[in-house]
Amino acid sequence: MQYLLMIYEDESLRAQRTPEDMQAIMAGYTTFTKELKEAGKMIAGDALEGVSTATTVRVRDGKTMTVDGPFAETKEQLGGYYLVEADDLDDALAIAAKIPTAQHGSIEVRPVMIWDDPPLSER
């Protein structure tokens, strides 16, 4: 089953990190991603630019509105994701616990919905 592992952290912490801290964190991500690929569990994953680059789109009564910034103001922001193939929720949770940001941020784990029809990407 596929799970989306969404990586959240307080973006303000990034500005406080030294280059050495960032290098250590990125090394952790490199190792984690390599292990995930070697285990055949990685489907996709990427980091996102900061919330200052986000735009939120809403359509109400046929009118499109855009707002600079993310949908909601929160203490932690979505910074990236992994889409993984896991045996079950316990396996997905175990994978999420290995993501380096889990040590100072949080990882939201959600199963990908299974449709009777072909997935949207195949329609």
pLDDT means per 10 residues in the chain (123 residues)?
95 88 94 97 94 89 88 80 97 97 94 80 72
* Assigned domain for 93 exists: yes
Phi, psi of 111 (to 5 degrees): -70, 145
* Assigned domain for 96 exists: yes
pLDDT score for 34: 97
* Assigned domain for 92 exists: yes
pLDDT score for 97: 97
pLDDT score for 67: 87
* Assigned domain for 123 exists: no
Which CATH number characterizes residue 42's domain? 3.30.70.1060
The residue segments making up the domain with residue 106 are 2-117
Distances in Å between the alpha carbon of 79 and those of 8, 17, 57, 62, 72?
Answer: 6, 16, 19, 31, 14
User: How many distinct structural domains can be found in the chain?
Assistant: 1
Q: How far apart are CA 28 and CA 32, in angstroms?
A: 6
pLDDT score for 6: 96
